[in-house]
Chain A
Amino acid sequence: AQTVTQSQPEMSVQEAETVTLSCTYDTSESDYYLFWYKQPPSRQMILVIRQEAYKQQNATENRFSVNFQKAAKSFSLKISDSQLGDAAMYFCAYLVQGGSEKLVFGKGTKLTVNP
């Protein structure tokens, strides 16, 4: 079964600086999809970024980018120029495919942004 591990329960960053959140996963599949979701105090789950495993190029969305290392099964999220609104829980997720697609989530990293 696929598993997702986020080894950092909590992280903090100064406003305007850069922070990297770690995620590793375990799978025997060769083609799959990975996601980072953000959950602010409002509780809403918001998609931050998506990576297709067959793409070698790392995904980027404005200040958010990933470092996808397929061989190492690592999928870290880099947030540049951190803003107060980035404070949230961040969840790494793996999309299990095969007719009954579902997301398997890591346990999350709580990010604090200090002014």
Chain B
Amino acid sequence: DTAVSQTPKYLVTQMGNDKSIKCEQNLGHDTMYWYKQDSKKFLKIMFSYNNKELIINETVPNRFSPKSPDKAHLNLHINSLELGDSAVYFCASRPWAGGSDEQFFGPGTRLTVL
């Protein structure tokens, strides 16, 4: 009964390729996020969606395009992958966009660009 799941968990690809990471939450939450954790373990928000609507876009290159087909899913598509995109990408969700509720994180997807 995974609350927030991501596929794949590991992704190895060549520079220049296009790839997608999928995220699903079965918690009934309205708000979902993508975070990037770099090689030094620093975590930074990339995007946030609330009920399929984009509410945060943190100066991420436009090669990254999130898509939310419904409020339980938030996918991340990356075009023309670069070496610097290698990182762990975390999806997270919380009940709604306000309040202080904790964010529930997925297991992360380790992306390696060769």
- Using a CB–CB cutoff of 8 Å, the interface residues on chain A facing chain B are 33, 35, 39, 42-45, 47, 50, 52, 89, 91, 95, 97, 99-105, 107-108
- Using a CB–CB cutoff of 8 Å, the interface residues on chain B facing chain A are 31, 33, 35, 40-45, 48, 55-56, 58, 88, 90, 92, 94, 97-100, 102-103, 105, 107-108, 110
What are 30 A-B pairs with beta-carbon distances under 8 A?
A33-B100, A35-B102, A43-B88, A44-B107, A45-B90, A45-B92, A45-B105, A45-B108, A47-B102, A50-B102, A52-B100, A91-B43, A95-B100, A99-B97, A100-B48, A100-B55, A101-B31, A101-B97, A101-B99, A102-B48, A103-B35, A103-B43, A104-B45, A105-B42, A105-B43, A107-B41, A107-B42, A108-B41, A108-B42, A108-B43
Query: 14 more A-B contacts (CB under 8 A) besides A43-B88, A91-B43?
Result: A33-B100, A44-B108, A50-B100, A52-B100, A100-B55, A100-B56, A101-B31, A101-B98, A102-B45, A102-B56, A103-B35, A103-B45, A103-B103, A107-B42
- The answer to whether A97 touches B98 (Cβ under 8 A) is yes
Query: Distance (Å) between the CB of B42 and the closest chain A CB?
Result: 5
Residues of B within 8 A of A103 (CB): 35, 43, 45, 103
Q: How many Å lie between the Cα of A100 and that of B53 in the bound state?
A: 11
Q: How many Å lie between the Cα of A42 and that of B110 in the bound state?
A: 12
Query: Distance (Å) between the CB of B8 and the closest chain A CB?
Result: 14
Q: Which of B92, B94, B97 is the one whose CB lies under 8 Å from A100?
A: B97
